[in-house]
Amino acid sequence: MSAPASGGRIQPPRPGDASRVGPYRIVGRLGAGGMGTVYAGLTESGERVAVKVVHPLHAGDPEFRARFRREVRLSTRVRGPFLLPLLAADPDADAPWLATAYAPGPTLTEHLAVHGPLTGATLHAFATGTAQALEAIHLAGVVHRDVKPQNVLLTPGGPRILDFGIAHAADGTSVTRTGVLTGTPGWISPEHYLSGVTAAEGDLFGWGALVAYAATGRLPFGGGAPEAVAYRVTSGRPDLDGIPEALKEILERALAKEPAERPDAGEAAAACARLLAAESTQVLNGSTSAEASSTPTLIGELVTAQWSVPVSDDPSWPPPASARVGSSRRRTVVAVVVAAAVLGASAGGALAFHHGGGDSTGRSGTAASTAAAGDHDSGATPAGTVLAGPGADVTGPVASDPRTVPVPSDPLDGVAHPAFHRSDDETQPVPGEWSAARDADGKAERDAAVAVRETVKAMLTTKDMSFMTPTVTFNRQAQTLMVTGGPISTLTDDRKEVFRRVAEAAACVTLAQRLEEAPTSWPYGRFSVRWRDYDGQDEASILGFGKATDGCYTDEAGRRQGTEEGMATAEIPSSDKDEIRIASGTLKAVTAAWNTRLAQGYGLEPFDRDDAITLGFDPVEQMMYVWAHDGSGALSGRAQQSHFQDVVSKTACPRLLAEYNTNRQWNYTRWTVAAYEGNSAWPQLFTSGDCLPAESRH
């Protein structure tokens, strides 16, 4: 029961269709099949979801209902790149349903019919992304069993595999009826035809056929009667003519008749990633080695960076509440955040977070900033750039730069009679505060709510988590602003932790700026971050709380410090093209610089693996984290730590500052160096720094 899409096109609802399913407002249909109907749904904030509702005929079948219930349980296991996450489900409703994130884009079949086969880096990105999605499915103990073009969407952010939960658990318990051949002719493995066996190796056979079809536009085992197709699958050779030789070798292995001769999904993803890296002008980890290409985070970044397919949107979708104007939601988020900062006292400041996206000409973030900044991925400073760094002639960013809006650490300092009178109150949130909160009332509260929502969304977007749209409410008596997420029943704890950090930062900064601007009239200084586990919940769970009068960041001697929570967020793969571009070039440069330092005779110990160094970005602290996996304890001594920190700062800062001075949306000039020593699961944070001179920081 896939969610067909054609660039986001929806059909109008039909008589008898429900207007709501669970928490979602139904605005049309995306498709229908034998199992039921897939509806286009909207959350309260206007985010798009695909809602799959089971046909009444099946809903009345206890055996089917049990299988559907298991489908939901299996789907909750699977989290990973290039998949559409399950957001919510109710297998016990009169009409059982489940909702997944919606991604605009055609199926592979629809794309090929209009645009023809995939080529070059996009083809390799498709092969890599779909293999990595299957790896995530298999690691969760699930077998797909229906890998085919109709179950793959080509979205703006990469390929997405659909329906990963409806097929089969790796423990052998089938969700579909036993004794029935499942799958689609031409995409079924030889062993499934011959013996009914369904396993991960069968998914790899389907993947090989899928990539071959994407590369040629031809069915690899031809068409015609199902019996004829089955014969060619079990006895014939696939049609791989015209496929690049290196990719062809991988597909031949995947399409082997014997399951044991096929690579697993992780091997296939790594092999395709090496081909993709070879085509890229920015090679991760400084090489195209198997070690570099086998890192899941880097594979995902490669795919996102090199992915390019034409995708159009459909105006028949009602636009999200937060994106009523503009052609790109990411550009809209940036515009709102920047506008809030520029308006200053009238609308209050807001944090400026970078999202990539496009510029006013419609170019992608990567292309636009590259065109404007030159080849600064190699560390070169673009001509005409005023480099803000030690020893540079710095006049400071212009006043309208939203990154210069200060975040007051003590916004009520010196105020005799502030409207917020709970700055010294250490009382924790009490039951009833959340349920008594109400929507924004008046312009000041509405502006604050918009600033919090858009700042939260801007930060979450960099981690591909913008589906966690918050609601913002106010409790005047408690002088508290509430930021609430959910309900998303299958959300993992680490994602909730990111939501907590993002919401706390957005609320704290917004409140601190408003307290400083209007200390005698703005009554809100406390914030509470909540999570709804289900609709109608009397009191949402508390994730975090605090006061804007206590400061919003972890500072030491006036310098922002990295945290373990920030590093955990930095380890989540970025979905932002500019972050991926800068990370790629910086990681390559830091690794090369460290290898050079090792060769200079300082008596330094090398790491025990070639890909020991990696990095990521935390949008909450606006911090780049660089860390090493130090299994041999090479960084246990202070001297070696000092050398590593020196290499990181001297190599990374020119790149961060070059981007900062040419890209107004780039907000990363801070860095933290860390390491995982031995077998420890907890990082050791060594030091933090800021590439900007003190007089240029906000």
Q: What is the CATH number of the domain that holds 51?
A: 3.30.200.20
571 & 676 share domain = yes
pLDDT of residue 696: 57
pLDDT of residue 118: 95
Which tens digits make up the pLDDT trace of 279-299?
764 334 444 444 444 455 566
45 & 131 share domain = no
pLDDT of residue 371: 30
Asked if residue 398 belongs to a domain, the reply is: no
- Out of 90, 92, 94, 146, pick the active-site residue: 146
Asked if residue 47 belongs to a domain, the reply is: yes
Angle at the Cα of 205 (from 202 to 208), degrees rounded to 5? Answer: 155
Asked if residue 534 belongs to a domain, the reply is: yes
341 & 284 share domain = no
Asked if residue 371 belongs to a domain, the reply is: no
Q: Tell me how far apart the alpha carbons of residues 78 and 138 are, in angstroms, rounded to a whole number.
A: 9
DSSP single-letter state for residue 176: S
pLDDT of residue 447: 95
Q: Tell me how far apart the alpha carbons of residues 452 and 513 are, in angstroms, rounded to a whole number.
A: 12
Confidence band of 377 (pLDDT split at 50, 70, 90): very low
Question: Does residue 262 carry a pLDDT above 90?
Answer: yes
482 & 428 share domain = yes
Q: Average model confidence (pLDDT) for the chain?
A: 79
Contact between residue 635 and residue 641 where contact means Cβ atoms under 8 Å apart: yes
| 474 vs 348 pLDDT, higher one | 474
- 85 is written with which tokens? 């996450």
Asked if residue 397 belongs to a domain, the reply is: no
Which tens digits make up the pLDDT trace of 167-224?
333 433 333 433 344 456 678 889 888 877 778 999 999 999 999 999 999 999 988 7
Q: Tell me how far apart the alpha carbons of residues 176 and 182 are, in angstroms, rounded to a whole number.
A: 8
| Arithmetic mean of pLDDT, 356-384 | 33
Domain CATH for 282: 1.10.510.10
Last residue of a domain, one of 507, 534, 552: 552
191 & 340 share domain = no
Which tens digits make up the pLDDT trace of 426-436?
888 888 999 99
- 656 is written with which tokens? 């961060």
Last residue of a domain, one of 552, 581, 611: 552
578 & 679 share domain = yes
Last residue of a domain, one of 552, 583, 600: 552
Q: Based on the structure, what is the number of domains in the chain?
A: 4
pLDDT of residue 586: 93
Question: Does residue 390 carry a pLDDT above 50?
Answer: no
pLDDT of residue 458: 92
Any catalytic annotation for residue 441? Answer: no
Q: Tell me how far apart the alpha carbons of residues 645 and 647 are, in angstroms, rounded to a whole number.
A: 5
- 590 is written with which tokens? 């830091």
Domain CATH for 600: 3.30.70
pLDDT of residue 33: 66
Asked if residue 189 belongs to a domain, the reply is: yes
pLDDT of residue 391: 33
Which tens digits make up the pLDDT trace of 129-173?
999 999 988 888 888 888 999 889 998 889 999 865 443 334 333
Which tens digits make up the pLDDT trace of 222-233?
887 777 888 889
Residues spanned by the domain of 112? 108-306
Asked if residue 366 belongs to a domain, the reply is: no
Question: Does residue 265 carry a pLDDT above 90?
Answer: yes
643 & 662 share domain = yes
Residues 6+ away with beta carbon under 8 Å from 196: 179, 181
